[in-house]
Amino acid sequence: MFNKLFGWFYLNKHPEGVVPGKVITGALLLYFALLLQMISNLLDGINLAAFIFVFGFLIYLVFMTGEGRKWARWVMLALILFNLIAFSAAAVNWNDIFKTAKQTTALHSPVLLFGLFCAEVLVEVIALILLFSKDAKAWFGRERINNAGIN
């Protein structure tokens, strides 16, 4: 079952060798964090066009990170650091957020949205730790094979 899942995310049959376990775990955690973010965005009432753009951009970025592209890993680092700063600002002002937010249903609860944000940031930080580990560094620094099979 997991081989099929990893194959769908292109993490088990890579033409340049075996993907390290930390990279696989980190990429899957980034996919999970993306899922949490998209659920949070939907509950928060994001515009459909913005939702599609953000989802497409981030799924591509996570895919390229799992594929072993250095630039994608660094872009993910920058985005997650910005997300961590936003989380820190929200955590500092959590009391004001909960008092002033309008709650129409349980799904639009600021506590639920903040909980999703907290889980998302935690998963992203764990993924970054894995993607910047010693094992992952070798994978991201490997020599690439082009489509013709010539180095």
Rounded to an integer, what distance in angstroms lies between the CA atom of residue 27 and that of residue 39?
A: 19
The mean pLDDT value for 38-64 works out to: 87
pLDDT at residue 91, as a whole number:
75
Say which range, 18-32, 60-74, 95-109, 128-142, has the weakest mean pLDDT. Answer: 95-109
Question: How many H helices and E strands in the chain?
Answer: 7, 0
Q: How confident is the model at residue 76 (pLDDT cuts 50, 70, 90)?
A: very high
d(C-alpha 53, C-alpha 63), whole Å: 15
Residue 31: how many CB atoms within 10 A of its CB?
Answer: 18
- What value does the mean pLDDT take over residues 86-101? 68
Give residue 44's pLDDT band: very low, low, confident or very high (50, 70, 90).
confident
